[in-house]
Amino acid sequence: MRLFIFRSLRIASILAGTPVRGADDSARHERRGDEGLLVIRGKRQAAVGAAMVALLTVAACGTDDNNDSGGAGAAPSSKASTISCAKGSITGSGSSAQKNAIDEWVKAYQNACSGATINYQSTGSSTGRQQFISKQVAFAGSDSALKDQQKTDADARCTGGAAVDLPMAVGPVALMYHVSGVNGLQLSAQTLAKIFAGKITKWNDPAIKAENSAASLPDATIASVHRSDGSGTTDNFTKFLKGAGGADWTFDSGSDWKAPGGQGAKGSDGVTSTVKSTENSIGYAELSYAENAGLSTVKVKNAAGEYIEPSTDGASLGLSTAKVADGDDLKLTFDYATATKGAYPVYLVTYEIACTKGLSADQAALVKSFLTYTASDAAQSSIGDLGYAPLPDAVATKVRAVIGKLA
């Protein structure tokens, strides 16, 4: 506990001395020394500073005897100062949208827990769900909750238990584009629907010009890029087009791309690299991919009539009207037509799919321990500068309660 207080004081001291760059929305972090102390820069600094005060308050109320003795089976704590480690090796697969978050979490967990090895394969949500159902992996990452027959099959895989969808990270889906000389592109859901449906084929189409009167739009053919593999990102993007695009999007939503035309690319990294290398192109991927590639992103018009840049704050506002299912299977239902001011309307929640029972004792303990960490305040805060927003408090509380029941 003394070590925890000492480190917390050092973190708070560092934060207090770090200059605030209030206009910088691309917060970055640095690791300092062997202790892995985190310095947050950007507009999230104030929130992190408040979190440090809360942590110090908790620490001050305890004693050196307040060590976690619950092991991997202990109930999850939202403000745990240490990771309750388990041993062994597990593999997960699925969503590429959550890969950057998972990589960060795995690194932190394995640094703290030398006896654990966690492998995550970015196969796409559809493949991840299939591999979970066929018992090839201990958990799956998916940008869509299990549906109907998938849920039935996943429950059967979890002998003596059930499969549960656990929301774990929130992220904006960015519409990234590569059009020379065009900055600050603004598009409505209706215009985006027409572009990806192949109804608008030129960048200087009147519908695009009407939303970008000051832009010098080229008389060039639009190269739209979509996922070629089964993808939760595609599922969420097409749900947005269907929900907000109205009559301009006549195709069903789903993990597989259904509209004709365009160019397919595998994975979020494939879509991103294709857009980056293709002049006059537009595609979709999680914000972190667009930022890492240095691509421009579209300001998307929300139901309040505002053109909003993709951001974690905007995605959180968009998610604020989502409904959480009752019970332990925590599926979320989104309102893509929300008129919340400042809301970015294209976003996704990426889930971890796990068994309440049915794994070997060692695997069950490690899955529970790892997910306990990923749902903690510390882990949720650690991915803020990677293009993800933390779970809303009400959702996070339910997620931690369900993780506590895993056996």
Distance CA 329, CA 243 (A): 24
**pLDDT, tens digit (0-9, with 9 covering 90-100), for 35-69:** 332 233 333 333 433 333 333 333 333 333 333 33
Q: Which residues contact 127 (CB under 8 A, 6 or more apart)?
A: 93, 94, 229, 230
Residue 14 has pLDDT above 70, yes or no: no
**pLDDT, tens digit (0-9, with 9 covering 90-100), for 339-382:** 899 999 999 999 999 999 999 999 999 999 999 999 999 999 99
* DSSP per-residue letters across 109-156: HHHH-TTEEEEEEE--HHHHHHHHHTTSSSEEEESS---HHHHHHHHH
58 in any annotated domain: yes
Residue 225 has pLDDT above 90, yes or no: yes
* Known binding positions for phosphate: 95-97, 125, 143, 231-233
Same domain, 184 and 328: yes
**pLDDT, tens digit (0-9, with 9 covering 90-100), for 155-183:** 999 999 999 999 999 999 999 999 999 99
Predicted TM-score (pTM) of the model is 0.73
Helix axis angle, 125-133 to 232-245, nearest 10°: 120
Among 307, 333, 359, give the residue marking a domain's end.
Answer: 333
Q: If we measure between CA atoms, which residue out of 316, 390, 382 comes closest to residue 29?
A: 382
224 in any annotated domain: yes
* pLDDT attached to residue 288: 87
* pLDDT attached to residue 47: 40
401 in any annotated domain: no
Span 290-308, average pLDDT: 97
Same domain, 179 and 51: no
Confidence of residue 338 (pLDDT cuts 50, 70, 90): confident
* pLDDT attached to residue 28: 35
244 in any annotated domain: yes
Span 107-134, average pLDDT: 97
Name 91's bridge partners: 119
Domain that holds residue 38: 1-68
Residue 108 has pLDDT above 90, yes or no: yes
Among 16, 50, 68, give the residue marking a domain's end.
Answer: 68
Same domain, 60 and 183: no
Q: If we measure between CA atoms, which residue out of 352, 316, 357 comes closest to residue 334?
A: 316
CB 302 within 8 A of CB 344: yes
Confidence of residue 209 (pLDDT cuts 50, 70, 90): very high
Confidence of residue 387 (pLDDT cuts 50, 70, 90): confident
Among 22, 53, 68, give the residue marking a domain's end.
Answer: 68
* Known binding positions: 95-97, 125, 143, 231-233
403 in any annotated domain: no
The three-point CA angle 117-119-122 to 5° equals 165
Q: If we measure between CA atoms, which residue out of 386, 392, 193, 182 comes closest to residue 300?
A: 193
H helix intervals, 158-281: 189-196, 206-211, 232-245, 267-277
Same domain, 59 and 176: no
Which CATH number characterizes residue 275's domain?
3.40.190.10
CA end-to-end distance (rounded Å), the chain: 29
* pLDDT attached to residue 80: 40
Total domains in the fold of the chain? 2
Span 25-40, average pLDDT: 33
82 in any annotated domain: no
* pLDDT attached to residue 247: 94
138 in any annotated domain: no
* pLDDT attached to residue 140: 99
Residue 10 has pLDDT above 60, yes or no: no
Residue 73 has pLDDT above 80, yes or no: no
Burial of 314 (0-12, 13-18, 19+ CB in 10 A): buried
202 in any annotated domain: yes
Distance CA 355, CA 95 (A): 18
Confidence of residue 308 (pLDDT cuts 50, 70, 90): very high
- Per-chain mean pLDDT for the chain: 84
